[in-house]
Amino acid sequence: MDKIVIRGLRIRANHGVNEEEKRDGQTFELDVTAFLDAGSARRTDDLADTVNYAALVHKTTEIFTARSYNLIEAAGDDVAEGLLDAFPRLETVTVLVKKPQAPIRDADFDYVGVEVTMTREDVNTRKQRF
């Protein structure tokens, strides 16, 4: 199993349960790990045989900013599912949504975050239910 790794993707968005988070927005940081079989890409050295990491970055940003979420759990879920939908070569996606400026009084931290892992099978099962 191969993986494409994106670390520290900073995206400005208006997510959160507090009114000021929705109004003013903040910068989130995402780590995305996309698992796939890139065996043929390793042999052919052809971008068409893998997933373009630039396309992953753009799609992640598009999904993450498409709407305002109350919870970063929901945002991470939508990103993971959306990437699996958009890139058929991906088998599993892990998305860590970090919130460095979470409004927590009297606390010193690097970030709070939620990590979501989803497989293609998870997405297919979900779609069968609805």
47 is in which domain, residue-wise?
2-129
Residue-level pLDDT at 92: 98
Q: What is the pLDDT of residues 89-111, one digit of tens each?
A: 999 999 999 999 999 999 999 99
Residue-level pLDDT at 130: 65
Active site residues: 99
Residue-level pLDDT at 72: 98
Q: Could you list the pLDDT tens digit for every one of the 130 residues in the chain? A: 999 999 999 999 999 999 999 999 999 999 999 999 999 999 999 999 999 999 999 999 999 999 999 999 999 999 999 999 999 999 999 999 999 999 999 999 999 999 999 999 999 888 887 6
CATH number for position 55: 3.30.1130.10
Could you tell me which residues come within 8 angstroms of residue 76 by beta carbon, excluding any fewer than 6 positions away? 95, 96, 97, 114, 115, 116
Specify the number of domains making up the chain.
1
CB atoms within 10 A of CB 116: 19
